[in-house]
Chains A and B, each alone.
Chain A
Amino acid sequence: MFILIVGGGKVGSYLTRALLAQNHEVVVVEKQERKARTLEALLETNVAVIGDGCDPQVLQQAGISRADVVVADTGDDEDNLVVTLIAKKHNSGARCIARVNNPRNKLIFESLDPDDPVAVISSTEIILDVLNEHVNAQRDRQAEVP
């Protein structure tokens, strides 16, 4: 599969390494040249496109129209939203995955295309869920003590 990743930070580089190991074709769009170079040096391949992933032209150059999956994993919710908007417009068949920091923002991403909803990943929410599970388990255990 061809996977287009927007955001070449830590999440983007570990993701790229894992996907390349699974023999997928990967392109990473990264705004900062230094980050893009670091990523390429680390992975020892030319996978980076330097440019603003929120610019439709940059994403077209990176091959968005033939992408099977588009991943928006920058650290800013608003940037990931715009990447998703562009992906939905230029490649309605692609599966979209977006990272959000503010769990409240999930609804907005999900409202973009109700027929083919964006997969929204919120690490804040995941941590909260695990925490709540732990808190509830503790409470249940304490309740059991006679």
Chain B
Amino acid sequence: MRYLIVGCGRVGSALANLLDADGHEIIVVDENPAAFKRLGKHFKGHVEVGTGIDYDVLKRAGAQRADGFIAVTDGDNRNVMAALIAQRMFKINRIVARIYDPPRGAMYRELGIDTVCPTTIGAKLIRDVLMEAPWDTLQSFDFGKVTSVSATIEAADAGKRVADLEQPGKIRIAAIRSGKSVRVAANDTVLAEGDEINAIVAPEAISEFALMFPTGAPTDRMTA
């Protein structure tokens, strides 16, 4: 796939390298030619100097042939404008814009632009690290209205059924990993010590969930 990334800051350059390593064709646009140094010497994609909110610059970068468009400059307004140009003038299907201000992210989603808000995600990760939560926040949906977390079953909960740990509308256990096998949880699945559960948790139940699993050993966190 061909992806166009506007903004070669820390996130833009890291994303460019990730997608490049996955074998995609990457074009990075930035006003400041010095910013491309961040891409490092292994980057195989292309660069284009110019502002991402200019039709001609995006056309030079090959926007008309892009499968996806990512706007990650340091300005929210600039990102939304670049995304709108990509959507309306170049008809690119997949568009993602970074928006720091959460209410504005919601407004832009109504326009058909997927937004990622590092403010909300960052705050949650920092909270988890600060509280030394024994569970991992895997993914938040719609600004944390639902969060997917994982936790390890301790001796105290061994022998309990999935339904014993669930709370209707608040905590739902989705999958269980025992050793190397993973299965979809059923109400009467009996849990064993060391099992890793993956649960979907409502925001009001997050602290409750943390209290239910206070001593589990932190596994690899998603903090990197």
| Chain A bound to chain B | yes
**A111 interface residue, CB < 8 Å from B?**
yes
| 7 nearest A-B residue pairs (beta carbon) | A78-B77, A78-B81, A104-B55, A82-B77, A78-B78, A111-B88, A81-B81
**B132 interface residue, CB < 8 Å from A?**
no
Size range of the chain A interface in the assembly = 10 to 19
22 A-B residue contacts at CB 8 Å?
A: A55-B104, A56-B103, A56-B107, A57-B103, A76-B77, A77-B81, A78-B53, A78-B77, A78-B81, A81-B77, A81-B81, A82-B80, A82-B81, A85-B111, A89-B107, A104-B54, A105-B55, A105-B85, A107-B89, A108-B81, A108-B89, A111-B88
**Could you tell me which B residues sit within 8 Å of A by CB distance?**
53-56, 75-78, 80-81, 84-85, 88-89, 101, 103-104, 107, 111
Q: How many A-B residue pairs have C-beta atoms within 8 angstroms? Tell me.
A: 53
Nearest chain B CB to A52 CB, angstrom units: 10
Please, which residues of chain B bring their CB within 8 A of the CB of A76? 77
In chain B, what residue has the closest Cβ to A54?
A: B77
Q: Across the interface, do A77 and B53 meet the contact criterion of CB distance under 8 Å?
A: yes
Q: Across the interface, do B85 and A108 meet the contact criterion of CB distance under 8 Å?
A: yes
**Known contacts A105-B53, A108-B89: does B77 contact A79 (CB below 8 Å)?**
yes
